[in-house]
Amino acid sequence: MNYDLIIARYGEIGLKSPKIRSRFERKLVKNIKATFDCEVDRNQGRIYIFPKNFDEGIEKLNRVFGVVSYSPATSTYANYEDIDETLSQYTKDLMAEGILDENTKFAIKCRRVGNHDFTSQEMAAHCGGVVRDVVLAPVDLTNPDLTIFVEIRDDDAYIYHEKIKGQGGLPLGTQGKVVVLLSSGIDSPVAAYLMMKRGCEVIALHCNNDPFSGPKVTELFNQLVDQLNIYAKGVPIKKRVIDYGEYLQAAKDNAPEKMTCVLCKSGMYHIAEKLAQKLGADAIVDGSSVGQVASQTLSNILATRYGVEMPILSPLIGLDKEEITAIAKEIGTFEISKIDDGGCSAVPKYPETRADLERVKQACEAMNQDVEVQRAFENIRRLD
């Protein structure tokens, strides 16, 4: 097919006020340009993309949040003569590709913006005749096998037949920053992805539990961030790591053994809050799903968040493992997450599953949590 541009469409952005919509559009264009080499024009709710490498553009546009759908298209001028010539060649190309033949039921859909000497219905009927001059295919406006779209905007016309589904959501970087507690497991990378889809810039915080976990955990963390970063062009994920082993040791030495996982998650939230305050983030994100593991019973979720004043968002909270795994497979993190990282040896044989707030407060005091959190936070570092 002789395409010369890609038409991208957005969804929620169109519901914003004109000022906000314009800002979101500009951010979306910036992210598209950061994803692949192209020129971009904006016009009346459409984004017209002219890639330097067309195949690369078609492949990588699917990674840009805010794009609901997109179509490879051929452009021409909005008059009968040019539309006839371009549509005739487009039809021949469809036949050469095996997409259209004399048995293919087809329809023409015309959308028109601007002042013209024809209506949308008149142009659609005319274009149907142009197609049938090339191939005597049957017209079926109710249940076509193929729909050819003719979109006319002022002096320009665009012809296409595909609508490729995009990521949707909001442009990355329009909704502030979040600190994501990112492990090497299946859940937290999916949580990070979903927050990115809602337009949030991600700061990934990794807790290195050495000597209770091995170096594989950090290696997988880096691989997961690399994979998520294919969706983060223009607003790459920042990485931070803390050495968390001393904190865990203090919890095991000074608090009830069964409380270790509760204290571990509680400490992570407090450290994430400090990091968020330092870097100007607005919320903490984790991969909690109610009842999935011992630390994620409802009572434990509530208890571990005690004392944290910043919002803690859990986008997976109502999803089951199958639903989370399906998303992980779709975004390419599952194959990384399923690699054995050796686990965490700090997990007690019988972890607390119904922690109440008073006992959690007592355990935090017993291990001198505030001091241990501050000590861990002072050693936080960038991971490049």
Give per-residue pLDDT as tens, 244-298: 999 999 999 999 999 999 999 999 999 999 999 999 999 999 999 987 776 678 8
Q: What is the pLDDT of residue 349?
A: 84
- Whether 99 and 131 share a structural domain: yes
Q: What is the pLDDT of residue 356?
A: 85
Question: Does any domain span residue 28?
Answer: yes
pLDDT tens, position by position, 133-187: 999 999 999 999 999 999 999 999 999 999 999 999 999 999 999 999 999 999 9
Q: What is the pLDDT of residue 136?
A: 94
pLDDT tens, position by position, 85-107: 999 999 999 999 999 999 999 99
Name residue, tokens 């979306």: 28
Residue 83 pLDDT level (bands cut at 50, 70, 90): very high
Average pLDDT (310-319) is 96
- Residue 226 lies in domain: 177-382
For residue 10, give the CATH number of its domain: 3.30.2130.30
Q: What is the pLDDT of residue 246?
A: 94
pLDDT surpasses 70 at 128: yes
Give how many domains the chain has, as a whole number: 2
Q: What is the pLDDT of residue 278?
A: 96
pLDDT surpasses 70 at 57: yes
Its sign, for the CA torsion 296, 299, 302, 304, is negative
Question: Does any domain span residue 172?
Answer: no
Say how far residue 242 (Cα) sits from the centre of its chain: 26
Question: Does any domain span residue 170?
Answer: no
- Whether 10 and 56 share a structural domain: yes
Length of the chain: 384
> How are beta strands 283-285 and 312-313 bridged, if at all?
parallel
Q: What is the pLDDT of residue 352?
A: 83
Question: Does any domain span residue 213?
Answer: yes
Q: What is the pLDDT of residue 294?
A: 66
pLDDT tens, position by position, 64-75: 999 999 999 999
For residue 264, give the CATH number of its domain: 3.40.50.620
Average pLDDT over all residues of the chain: 94
Whole-model pTM over 0.85? yes
